Structure 1
Amino acid sequence: MDALAAQQSVNWQWVKGHAGNPLNELADSIAFKESQSRISQKTDDLAGENITRLDDALSHVDDTGNASMVDVSSKASTFRAAKAEGWVHMKPSTLALIKDNAIEKGDVLSVAKVAGIMASKKTSDLIPLCHPIPVNKVSVEMSINESKNAIHVISEASTNGKTGIEMEALMAVSISCLTIYDMCKSAERTIKIDGVRLLKKTGGKHNYSA
């Protein structure tokens, strides 16, 4: 093919698009029909095989692609545990106010700890497809990291249930971090929350460790 193309003498001519040139209109028509054919085929693929793959990957999606609560009725209750963390970064001056218990709203770390524990027990009320599960215990621990000008928040939760408790651990961390922000926002508006993540989960079909 390359050898045959090299034997051809081609004279290029610029033609304004959609100006009525017969050959240009023919080429445009062929290209458009081919593109529509490929789009149609891709749509058919998405409607069939790819939705099946999505259902396999996402447990809260049914075979039609709609959100669905997972049926755990056939699962056995086992002891399950999870651990999560998060960081709240701030100015050294704000961190000093927390250490000295000089924030106007009061004891930041104590309030944030209780808020995290309370929120953990409300997880299924806030996350639509999350199962309400019996919570054995939730703990929230906080430490001041002066080298990072941050507060490190760690939560642990456990249950004897049919599904994991990682969302409860993540909820505890998230709300504790938000409460720290709320308690301190009058002193600083540039406080940043980051690094919220699951560190570990055990007791289920798929255990995890970061």
Structure 2
Amino acid sequence: MGDLTHFNEEGRAKMVDIGEKAETVRTAIAHSSIKVNEVIYDKITSNSMKKGDVLAVAQVAGIMASKKTSDIIPMCHPIMLTSVDISFEWKLTDSDHILQITATAKTKGSTGVEMEALTAASACALTVYDMCKAVDKGMIIGETYLIEKTGGKNGDFKRTE
């Protein structure tokens, strides 16, 4: 593991200087999920939720959130995203209806896009919750984590589980 670089000599928070870092193509893929009941699953998949197309709104919310990451995460640099893509997949069992969310962010720059991908995935899950809470407030937002990232001086990362 690398050293924590977000602290100055006094032990106080600082924004890392990326001025000397090389610009490279960087990607990050993040995951989140939300478990809903069968009624919500049916309403989302039939596009009959009163507030509108839940997945379309969640997708736009994720993209918008990724672009605002530096506004809400204090030490993140504002970056120029070259691409943000969100995909959804249902994982169904006899008792569970889980919406799997995958967010991919890309840039060409001096800092990574992990936080932008994680923010996008999180915002998608939160938006689904917001749009469906009138039906059931018992939804559960699941683990959110980085799947993989490429580019930068620290190299690539790929989750192995």
Q: When the two structures are superposed, what TM-score results if normalisation uses the length of structure 2?
A: 0.93
After superposition, what is the alpha-carbon deviation per residue over 1:114-158, rounded to whole angstroms, capped at 9, x for unaligned?
110011011111111100111000000111222241101001011
**1:7 paired residue number:** none
Alignment of 1:162 with 2:130, yes or no, is no
Task: Please tell me the residue identity of whatever aligns with 1:180.
Answer: V
SS at match of 2:129: helix
1:205 is matched with which residue: 153, 156, 159? 153
Match of 2:102, as an amino acid?
Answer: I
1:115-194 matches, within 5 Å, as: 115-147=61-93, 148-194=96-142
Please list, as runs of the form range in 1=range in 2, the aligned pairs for 1:1-210 lying within 5 A after superposition. 57-147=3-93, 148-206=96-154, 207-210=156-159
Percent identity, aligned pairs only, is 43
- Structure 1 position 57, deviation (Å): 2.9
- 1:161 CA displacement: 0.3
Q: Secondary structure at the match of 2:144?
A: strand
Q: How much is the aligned-residue C-alpha RMSD, in angstroms? A: 1.1
Whole-angstrom CA distance in 2 between matches of 1:105 and 1:113:
15
By percentage of residues, which structure has more strand? 2
Separation in structure 1 between the aligned mates of residue 153 and residue 140 of structure 2, nearest angstrom: 35
4+ aligned runs moved over 4 Å, structure 1: none
List alignment gaps of at least 5 residues for structure 2. none
Cα distance in 1, alignment partners of residues 148 and 117 from structure 2: 10
User: Partner amino acid for 2:88?
Assistant: M
- How far did 1:167 drift? 0.6
Give 1:63 shift: 2.2
Question: Quick one: distance in 2 between partners of 1:61 and 1:193?
Answer: 31
Question: Per the alignment, in what secondary structure is the counterpart of residue 181 of structure 1?
Answer: helix
Letter of the 1:79 partner, please give it.
Answer: V
Larger Cα Rg: Structure 1 or Structure 2?
A: 1
Q: Kindly indicate whether structure 1 or structure 2 has the higher relative contact order, using CA contacts under 8 Å at least 6 residues apart.
A: 2
Aligned with 1:136: secondary structure?
strand
More helix by share: 1
Q: Which amino acid is the alignment partner of residue 157 of structure 2? A: Y
